[in-house]
Amino acid sequence: MALHVVVTAKQVIDPEIPPAAFHIDAAARQVTVPPTFPPVVNGFDEYAVEAALRLKDQHGATVTVLAAGPQFDLAVMRKPLAMGADRLVLCQDPALANSPDSLVTARVLQAALAKLEPFDLILCGRQASDWDNAQVPLYLAELLHLPCLPLAQKVEVAGGSVRAELLLPDGYQVAEAPLPALVTVSNELGQPRYPTMRHIMAANRKRPTVWTLADLGLSAAQLTPGVEVVALWRPERQLQCELISAADDAAAAVEQLLDKLHAEGLL
């Protein structure tokens, strides 16, 4: 049986939008952007897709991309298909709107993976560019009772095991786990491939599988967030500059500067 790799992906606000287009609705405690700036697939998830496609090139694996959210832009979410993935599954339900709880997302993905079984390997981006929590893959591995190899820059499969190079502050370590397993992929993997015209046309002909919470056997009551966003705001930058003047006496100026730094506890 061919290797089945599932890649989790998230639709996020484009992190490259200009700051002027980025707005925060303080009352609703959420970020809003004009409709002229479409969302994108989370950048780290594209590296996970690339890791899966390299396994497909080597082993003839089947690659399924799985996402959960309240609403999807199909033109955006078809990008992994255009890169070469075989199937796109969207867990789409309004009840998933604005949930800040990573565990809720992980429970939805867990239920979807139960419908996608059997699978051999789950690949996730190391984190998402919106909340930047890096929690969903770890929750998901725990819920599925799978070994988790985090922050991989290289992923290989052989003999019923996955081997990965895991990033460390001063290098990397090689770790191995039996399949099925979950691996989070970092950008050190290498640049994701660009969609070819042939794959773009093929992706446009594919219809994604769309599941609601009811299709997954879940209800909104079962997914009550345990985390609440109490406030959301844009950080304010305050710059203060004090000029030290000592005429032409450089030594006196240096002495004043040192006194100021000592007074502020900087020296």
| pLDDT given at position 45 | 98
How high does pLDDT run on average in the chain? 92
**From residue 130, how far is each of 30, 141, 209 by CA, in Å?**
11, 21, 25
Residue 240 confidence (pLDDT) above 90: no
When pLDDT is averaged across residues 21-28 and rounded to a whole number, the result is 85
User: Which one has a higher pLDDT value, 232 or 128?
Assistant: 128
When pLDDT is averaged across residues 156-160 and rounded to a whole number, the result is 95
Beta strand 121-125 pairing with 181-185: parallel
Q: With contact defined as beta carbons under 8 Å apart, do 82 and 203 qualify?
A: yes
When pLDDT is averaged across residues 66-89 and rounded to a whole number, the result is 96
- pLDDT grade, residue 228 (50/70/90)? confident
User: Which one has a higher pLDDT value, 208 or 263?
Assistant: 208
Give residue 159's region: left, alpha or beta (phi > 0; psi -120 to 50): left
The lowest-confidence range among 60-74, 81-95, 137-151, 244-258 is: 244-258
Q: Which residues pair with 32 in a beta bridge?
A: 23
Residue 247 confidence (pLDDT) above 70: no
| pLDDT given at position 56 | 97
CATH of 4-223, one of 3.10.20.600, 3.40.50.300, 3.50.50.60, 3.40.50.620: 3.40.50.620
| pLDDT given at position 120 | 97
| pLDDT given at position 61 | 95
For a pLDDT cut of 70, what percent of the chain falls above it? 99
Residue 1 confidence (pLDDT) above 70: no
Domain boundaries, the chain: 4-223, 237-267
User: Which one has a higher pLDDT value, 98 or 108?
Assistant: 108
Residue 29 confidence (pLDDT) above 80: yes
How does DSSP classify residue 189? G
For a pLDDT cut of 90, what percent of the chain falls above it? 69
Look up tokens 């484009």; give the residue: 14
Q: How many CA atoms lie within 13 A of 170 on its CB side?
A: 0
